[in-house]
Amino acid sequence: MIKYRPEIDGLRFIAVIAVVLYHANIVIPGGNQLHINQFDLKFFKGGFIGVDIFFVISGYLICYFILKGIKQNNFSFSNFYERRARRLLPVLYLIIFISIPIAVIFMHPDQLIELSGSILSSLGFGSNIWFWLEDSYTAQQSQLKPFLHTWSLSIEEQFYFIFPPLVIFIHRFFRKHLLIFLIVLFFISLICAQITSSRYTDASFYLIHTRAWELIAGSILAVIELDYGRRNNKYLSKFMPIVGLLIILYSLLFFDDQMFHPSFVTLLPIVGTMILIWYSGHGGVISNMLSTKLFVGGGLISYGLYLWHFPIFAFSKILNFEQTALLKILIIFISVILSIVTYIYIERPTRNRNFIKSKYIISFLSIIFLILSISSGYIYVESKKSIRNLSLNGVSYNVEYEKNKRFSYLHEICPEIGWSNCRNVQNGKVNVMVVGDSMAIDAVNIIEPLYPEYHYIVDDEFGGCPPHPNIIEILPQDHPYLAECINKNKERFNKNNLLGVDVIVINLLYNWYKPKNLIPYLEFLKSNNFHNVLIFGNYISLKENFYNHMTQNKSLSESSSDRDIKNIIDKKFYLQNNLEIIADKYEYNFVNLKENICPDVCPIFIKNYPYTWDKFHFSKEFSGYISQLLRDELSPIFSGIQK
Q: What is the CA radius of gyration of the chain?
A: 28
Q: Looking at residue 40, what is its pLDDT?
A: 42
Q: Which of 387, 416, 435 is the last residue of a domain?
A: 387
Q: Is residue 408 domain-shared with residue 383, that is, in the same domain?
A: no
Report whether 271 contacts 248 (CB < 8 A). no
Dist CA 277 CA 13 (whole Å): 14
In sequence order, the 6+-apart residues with CB closer than 8 A to the CB of 440 are 434, 458, 459, 460, 507, 508
Q: Looking at residue 478, what is its pLDDT?
A: 60
Residue 393 within any structural domain of the chain: no
| pTM of structure | 0.78
- Tell me the backbone φ, ψ of residue 44, rounded to 5 degrees: 50, 60
Cis upstream peptide for 636 (omega within 30°) = no
Residue 540, pLDDT > 90, answer: no
Mean pLDDT throughout 435-463? 92
Q: Is residue 298 domain-shared with residue 228, that is, in the same domain?
A: yes
Mean pLDDT, rounded, of the chain: 89
Q: Is residue 201 domain-shared with residue 313, that is, in the same domain?
A: yes
Q: Is residue 584 domain-shared with residue 515, that is, in the same domain?
A: yes
Mean pLDDT throughout 549-560? 74
Tens of pLDDT, residue by residue over 265-322, are 999 999 999 999 999 988 889 999 999 999 999 999 999 999 999 999 999 998 888 8
State how far the alpha carbon of 219 is from the alpha carbons of 53, 61, 183, in Å: 13, 8, 10
Q: Is residue 17 domain-shared with residue 93, that is, in the same domain?
A: yes
Q: How far apart are the first and last CA of the chain?
A: 83
Q: Is residue 404 domain-shared with residue 362, that is, in the same domain?
A: no
pLDDT band at 190 (very low <50, low <70, confident <90, very high): very high
Tens of pLDDT, residue by residue over 399-421, are 888 888 999 998 888 888 888 78
Q: Could you give the dihedral angle defined by the CA atoms of residues 286, 287, 293 and 299, in that order, rounded to the nearest 10 degrees?
A: 90
Dist CA 221 CA 213 (whole Å): 12
CA torsion through residues 98, 126, 462, 619, sign: negative
Dist CA 401 CA 398 (whole Å): 5
Residue 392 within any structural domain of the chain: no
Residue 363, pLDDT > 70, answer: yes
Q: At what angle do helices 234-254 and 267-279 cross, to 10 degrees?
A: 150
Q: Is residue 410 domain-shared with residue 378, that is, in the same domain?
A: no
In sequence order, the 6+-apart residues with CB closer than 8 A to the CB of 334 are 312
Q: Is residue 335 domain-shared with residue 281, that is, in the same domain?
A: yes
- CATH code of the domain covering residue 487: 3.40.50
Q: Is residue 433 domain-shared with residue 494, that is, in the same domain?
A: yes
Residue 620 within any structural domain of the chain: yes
Dist CA 507 CA 213 (whole Å): 44
Report whether 66 contacts 80 (CB < 8 A). yes
Q: Is residue 501 domain-shared with residue 525, that is, in the same domain?
A: yes
What type of residue sits at position 170? I
Which residues span the domain enclosing 164? 6-387
Tens of pLDDT, residue by residue over 80-120, are 999 999 999 999 999 999 999 999 999 988 889 999 999 99
Q: Is residue 476 domain-shared with residue 355, that is, in the same domain?
A: no
Tens of pLDDT, residue by residue over 484-533, are 888 899 999 999 999 999 999 999 998 888 899 999 999 999 999 999 99
Residue 41, pLDDT > 70, answer: no
Q: Which of 354, 387, 420 is the last residue of a domain?
A: 387
Q: Which of 347, 362, 387 is the last residue of a domain?
A: 387
Q: How many domains does the chain have?
A: 2
Q: Is residue 380 domain-shared with residue 426, that is, in the same domain?
A: no
